[in-house]
Chain A
Amino acid sequence: MSKLICKKCILDSDIPGITINEESGLCQFCESYTPLSSEEKKKYLGIIEDLFTEHSGKGEYDAIFALSGGKDSSYALYKLKKEYPFLNILAVQFDNAFISDTAIANAKKMCEIVGCDYFKLTMEEKRLCDTFRKAAESTNAYSKFARYRASDICNTCISIIKQKLIEQAIIHKTPFIIFAFTSGQAPNPIIDLQVNFIKWSRNIFEKQLQNFGVEDKDEIFLIKNEIIKSIDKNTTPIMLHPLCLWDYNEDDILKTLADLGWISPKISDSNSTNCLLNSFACHNHIKKYQIHPYAFDIAGLVRSGDMTQEEGLEKLHKELSKPLMEVAAKKLNMELE
């Protein structure tokens, strides 16, 4: 049977696990999709504002912000401080050993512009490379659902970031952790991180690392158990994804950032403006599972009306950068097949 493309998003019947209803012409996700209405978005933003008012100004920082230096997080930091100038933010940039120099410069510049502290979270390069290589070589590390959300390498990287930011928030009693996930990446704008969930998600990630042969005995990647034991149940952090509530238009975001002095990176990766590993991670994932790790994310943006179907399909089918893949493969000590 010839390939069917969902009428509403960009998912198609050649992607394993995607079914297109021949009658409606929609994939199973678009069939059951209920978008957040503008009233619901307003309601969530109202809740976030109330939370900020209630919890800010009590500790060293009000929020820890995950800043990659890429376009989405740079814009979200700018918009966040514009909307809520009273927030005292610590922006944390994770140096995953593949972050571009431009991304580091952009992150520092954005922090200067908005007036917040910057911290670069670093880890031993060899250990990171070994871990990413093992993730790339694995085929059973993450759940099936996770394969649609991101590549095995990206899932590993983002899990490390989440674990360590939650850890920092607990240590410093920071009430909020903020990520710049789009509506395609994070359907839940507010996640109250309760103690049992923190413990459980830590154990799930520990098991995922073990699935591909990484024993994180000294808890470099995982939230330290000692820290979890010290959690005060009344001050667990709340994770926020405000970008999925704001209007999202890639061209407008890039224009706003360019006006601020954010430098467009010279890396030719249509899906990342900060990470030099991303093209390799996508290539590796497509080869293993025949699933483009950005398909679901882009489909979410198209489904919610933040991107046209044409733009989404163009982004999805843009060729991955061979020079970037070659550099990353060499650093990971892997063959580029």
Chain B
Amino acid sequence: MGEIKEVMMAYLQNKSFMDSGTKLNDDDSLTMKGIIDSIGLIELIDFISEKYSIEIPEDLLTPENFDSINGIVNIIQKLTK
């Protein structure tokens, strides 16, 4: 969990201009907090697919799985098992 979370936080800080001071809880919505939008989402999904060598099935492409740090960590853990 910790390592994936660190990777995702570093990605968001570098690629989506999230300030290092931004308070982001693990369940906060990335889209509602203005951290990513639909184009950012495509890039995030590309990054995850490449970094973890996984293919993301269409039915898993949902806000529950990709709109929060918790959701992302869980889905990566599930798909890399």
Contacts and interface: CB of A to CB of B under 8 A. Distances in A.
Contacts, number: 64
A230 interface: no
B3 interface: no
A204 B17 contact: no
B40 A194 contact: no
A140 B37 CA distance: 13
Interface residues of A, number: 26
Interface in A136-160: 140, 142-149
A208 interface: yes
Nearest to A19: B14
Interface string A196-229: 1100110011011000000000000000000000
B40 A200 contact: no
B37 A208 contact: yes
Interface in B47-81: 58-59, 61-63
Contact of B38 (A32, A187, A194, A200): A200
Given A194-B61, A207-B31, A145 B14 contact: no
Interface in A167-191: 187-188, 191
B46 interface: yes
Contacts of A146: 37, 39-40
Given A196-B61, A207-B32, A143 B46 contact: no
Majority-rule SS of A interface residues: helix
Contacts of B38: 197, 200-201, 204-205
A80 interface: no
A209 B30 CA distance: 17
Contacts of A149: 39
Interface string A14-32: 0001000000000010001
A312 B63 CA distance: 38
A195 interface: yes
Given A145-B15, A187-B43, A191-B42, A196 B37 contact: no
A140 B31 CA distance: 12
Given A196-B58, A201-B38, A204-B31, A145 B63 contact: no
Given A188-B43, A200-B41, A208-B37, A145 B58 contact: no
A200 B17 CA distance: 22
B32 A144 contact: no
A145 B36 contact: yes
A195 B58 contact: yes
B34 interface: yes
Which of B16, B18, B35, B37 is most buried by chain A, counting CB atoms within 10 A of its CB? B37
A201 B44 CA distance: 14
Nearest to B16: A145
10 contacts: A143-B34, A145-B35, A188-B43, A188-B46, A194-B61, A196-B62, A197-B41, A197-B42, A200-B38, A205-B38
Return the 4 tightest CB-CB contacts between A and B, nearest first: A201-B38, A17-B17, A144-B17, A145-B16
